[in-house]
Amino acid sequence: MIDQLAITASAAEWLPAARQLAGELQLRCLDCAEPSRLDAPAFVLQRGERLQLCATGRKAPGPVFVDFVGGTAAHRRKYGGGKGQQIAKAVGLRSGFYPGVVDATAGLGRDAFVLASLGCKVHMLERNPVVRALLRDGLERLQNAALEDVELAPIAQRLGLEESDVSARDWLQDQAPESIPVVYLDPMFPERGKSAGVKKEMAAFHQLVGSDEDADGLLEPALAACYYRTVVKRPRLAPCLAGRKPALSLEGKSGRFDIYTKHGVPG
């Protein structure tokens, strides 16, 4: 990753923050270099009003960033279907019951934000330091927006990020048995080639981050740590995690939620 990535600033005022981030991630800082004018490295993290991952070169796709305030997150928060969404059903959410969730493979935090917006307290784990930096930036902007938006304030309070470098497997193994109401897993699945359903910028993101080849090792520690259930999000035709059949599955057009139950959720 070090050979593929560097840090830049969108303007001179962001240079101190860019250089600080470069030190934290042990990456080169290219000062205010414009991503579209670079031939190498393949990606830069650009520090500006928001932190964003940019592919370099003239024909590069758009940037990848975490946005919990506007865009898709805002639309889904307002019009996404509330408790009727499959993810809400998968974690067992119902009126009067909003289980705490550990999202052990948070990625860009989209599902974590949905669950937090529906009332669950969500703790995100993300082992990739670049993705974790994007999440941290998104959370900071959410918290700033929440100071003036009464609808965002409770969501910001319910959404948190683990700052340590520990892997999800080790973190889960360190938890007391049955101490987490719900563990949620959405490991990065290998791309199936050029799919029209995968935006170019997300394809570039997957290229940098890679797939979670060790994802099968997450299931047992998740099952040991959870109290009610472990929920695994999978592509619709993907094999079950660790080859273990779930108690039940909720299928959609392109994906499914495999649910491994332990104790029944309150009725």
Would you give the DSSP letter of residue 122?
A: E
Q: Are strands 122-124 and 101-103 parallel, antiparallel or unpaired?
A: parallel
What local confidence, expressed as pLDDT, does residue 193 receive? 47
- The band of 1, judged by pLDDT with boundaries at 50, 70 and 90, is low
pLDDT digits (tens, 9 = 90+) for 189-198: 765 544 444 5
Mean pLDDT value across the chain: 92
Q: Are strands 255-261 and 122-124 parallel, antiparallel or unpaired?
A: unpaired
What local confidence, expressed as pLDDT, does residue 83 receive? 86
Q: Is 169 annotated as a binding residue?
A: no
The mean per-residue pLDDT over the stretch 62-77 comes to: 91
pLDDT digits (tens, 9 = 90+) for 99-141: 999 999 999 999 999 999 999 999 999 999 999 999 999 999 9
pLDDT of residue 81 exceeding 90, the answer is no
Q: Is 110 annotated as a binding residue?
A: yes
Q: Is 214 annotated as a binding residue?
A: no
pTM above 0.75, yes or no: yes
What local confidence, expressed as pLDDT, does residue 198 receive? 53
Q: How many CA atoms lie within 13 A of 110 on its CB side?
A: 13
What local confidence, expressed as pLDDT, does residue 190 receive? 65
**In the CATH scheme, what is the code of domain 71-261?**
3.40.50.150
- Side chain identity at 35, as an amino acid letter? P
Q: Is 76 annotated as a binding residue?
A: no
Please give the residue that has the higher pLDDT: either 218 or 252: 218
Chain Cα centroid distance, residue 176: 24
Residues 166, 153: Cα–Cα separation, whole Å: 29
Cβ(226)–Cβ(183) under 8 Å?
yes
What local confidence, expressed as pLDDT, does residue 196 receive? 45
pLDDT digits (tens, 9 = 90+) for 31-49: 999 999 999 999 999 999 9
Q: Helices (H), strands (E): how many in the chain?
A: 9, 10
What local confidence, expressed as pLDDT, does residue 58 receive? 92
Handedness of CA 157, 158, 159, 164 (dihedral sign): positive
Cβ(22)–Cβ(28) under 8 Å?
yes
Q: Is 111 annotated as a binding residue?
A: yes
Cβ(135)–Cβ(52) under 8 Å?
no
